[in-house]
Structure 1
């Protein structure tokens, strides 16, 4: 029986009923948290001295197109219109299964490096089953916990409108039969569908019903120009296919009454604040959700445009919402907002507790509790950029990737003492560069 005892750290559990932070020990057995308390006996465990460290739940990136890792920076100066054209109409079609695998592996490893232990890989560049299987191989090799969200493949026949293509039930059945067999697996299958914004109502209803029948999390984009059908959401709501297994990404253009109804149905929301501001989706709906008594999860979205650090995403979301609150208060009273409507703890919950909820993993991850899986991050609070630490949660929100000392997934160290626990990173980096360079070389940019 594998045991690890983490002693001397300041623990942010994010669990209901516990202090914001506390000096307690954590005993981990067979990948789960077996005990939390002061001065725990080692019971033959490997003892890890976490003095000077903040121990927190592993972060959850609830939305990322990991297949774009090899194209880092390519989209940094594109608006949404340019992104859709160049990334999806041009670059995506140049990817081989090998390109997908190496990008997914490198992207997942970087997530671990940045303190993310669970990744929702929204893979919508999967024209063949070979591309799909390559993405799954990349995730498995990385050692990250992941929800693989299988995207609706683009049709090979260019005369067929993508919006009229239902998600292939046969491919979902194949994946459940061959790739996602064990409930103890680090990987979970989900569906990434076009949704009522990008598909016909008939396709959206069919896809949502498929996910419901298979018991899968299903995610869709909502934003980015006119909807495919003006009555798409009305028909989807009337069909009775919406519930807690449904996740909406962005949602910036949803009307207040629609948003209210979706929240009442248990639909979750993932915002990607930096991308939403950068490419033109609009302001994140964080505050609108808070007003309805719920909260978003957060995602990175695309590393072809921004960095993959979830702590940066948390700070972006927090700062953006505070800025919106201050502006509203100034218009109403002439003064800034006080007290602040969102706190650092709220922001940390968006990348932990709320991420787990959105991905249907609340019983497994997102907080440090006895019985939950041991997905943990150790933040080194001793460097001068974080010293002195007077408030552990605020300190974490000020941290950078340089402070991510160690990362544990399922009781196994995936990063230790500042270095990834992985094989030949230089070989991987070389292959990633070659893959990205080849894909880019096959496109003639005229911008």
Structure 2
């Protein structure tokens, strides 16, 4: 079994905790971390020099519609309603299996380039089994760890198309790609109680619970659910650690507390939520109840794919809210200050918890998967490295020197280790151009 030792890095093993003191070695055997420490002996291991680098757990992007990558930038100036009308109403029905494959592959590879080692791929355009298979194949080809949240398209219409297809879930579970020792895990992308009748939400939550899957549900906008809907779901034990809500911007404090108390997780996509009109991210509300968010990019049609940007936006937003509250009531005790380490935790271990993978990823410790990111802290924008945690949070795509997933290097020396990027670019551009033209998307184009 291959052994690798990464020597001399500044290791932030478990955000928000402080970095390990001094230069640290990481010994990896196969897909797992074996040891962390100083001057580890490993005579038979490949040695990687990490002096001057910051090493963090692989980032976990807990929510992204990766299939849309061929339409990057088209919704940068749209609001949420415009996005729903044009992307879901007009563009989504035009996707072929090949479109879904190339969009997912390009999006997943870019996530690796940005330091993401685990992706919550919220694929709600799996119109046929062939579309789902194409997306799964793309994730496998990219070499990323992912939870494939299988969803069916709604076509911009009412969210009452019936329960999630259990036969399709079982078909996917039988695929070798979802073996227990692989990089992919199956999950459900469902409308949830806000966007579907009670019997549909009940069936979807039951399906996820019975199959042992995480179910992720959008929860943003529209009138709130009647209280009796939540009461019935709680009474039936359908809400717990296997349930994840995305956005949840308008959820009231009492319901939020009840959901937190039973272990439900929450994923915020702060840049998109602020740009598109979802509402304010709930970071502060979660913090007040002793909980924390995970982070997602959501849509590359509108923003960059860099999760560290999302972490910085989330931190800046909640700090801004805290300062505004202090100005309004300066005699009230301020809340505990959130730190750069907290934001890194949202982007790592909290994402792992939201995806049900916290026992395997999210921190660097013996027995866990060797999913890690090397940041070149010698770069001018990060030097001098006065605070490794702050520098890691401030890093950009250009600073992500290397990415390892399950003990395998997927990016080294600043370059993706994928051999067909040129042909992928051509295919991605053709796919996006065809869909945009056929959907008559109102986008700006360069003039010839």
Q: TM-score range by the shorter chain?
A: over 0.9
Match of 2:446 in 1: none
Match of 2:405 in 1: 409
Show the 5 A alignment for 1:25-424: 25-154=25-154, 161-227=158-224, 231-333=228-330, 341-424=337-420
Deviations 1:195-222 (A, max 9, x none): 0011001100110000000000110000
CA distance in structure 1 between the partners assigned to 2:16 and 2:294 by the alignment? 18
Q: TM-score, normalised by structure 1?
A: 0.95
Deviations 1:394-428 (A, max 9, x none): 01111100000000000010000000000110110
In the TM superposition, structure 1's runs of 4+ consecutive aligned residues that sit over 6 Å from their partners are: 15-18
Q: TM-score, normalised by structure 2?
A: 0.95
CA shift for structure 1 position 264: 0.3
State the aligned residue count: 443
CA distance in structure 2 between the partners assigned to 1:235 and 1:338 by the alignment? 37
**Structure 1 contact 14–20 (Cα < 8 Å) conserved:** no
CA distance in structure 1 between the partners assigned to 2:313 and 2:39 by the alignment? 38
CA distance in structure 2 between the partners assigned to 1:339 and 1:360 by the alignment? 29
CA shift for structure 1 position 444: 2.5
CA shift for structure 1 position 41: 1.3
Structure 1: give runs of 5+ residues left out of the alignment. Answer: none
CA shift for structure 1 position 341: 1.9
Q: 1:21 to 1:211 in 2, by over 3 A?
A: farther
Deviations 1:18-41 (A, max 9, x none): 755542100000111011111011
- Provide the secondary structure at the position in 1 that maps to 2:87: helix
CA distance in structure 2 between the partners assigned to 1:397 and 1:18 by the alignment? 13
**Structure 1 contact 20–393 (Cα < 8 Å) conserved:** no
CA distance in structure 2 between the partners assigned to 1:199 and 1:150 by the alignment? 17
Structure 2: give runs of 5+ residues left out of the alignment. Answer: 444-448
1:434 to 425, 430, 434: 430
CA shift for structure 1 position 236: 2.3
Q: 1:206 to 1:291 in 2, by over 3 A?
A: same
Q: 1:145 to 1:258 in 2, by over 3 A?
A: same
* CA root-mean-square deviation: 1.9
CA distance in structure 1 between the partners assigned to 2:393 and 2:310 by the alignment? 10
Q: 1:17 to 1:103 in 2, by over 3 A?
A: closer
CA distance in structure 1 between the partners assigned to 2:52 and 2:340 by the alignment? 21
**Structure 1 contact 164–200 (Cα < 8 Å) conserved:** no
CA shift for structure 1 position 235: 3.2
CA distance in structure 2 between the partners assigned to 1:306 and 1:122 by the alignment? 16
Deviation larger for 280-289 or 161-170: 161-170
CA shift for structure 1 position 436: 0.2
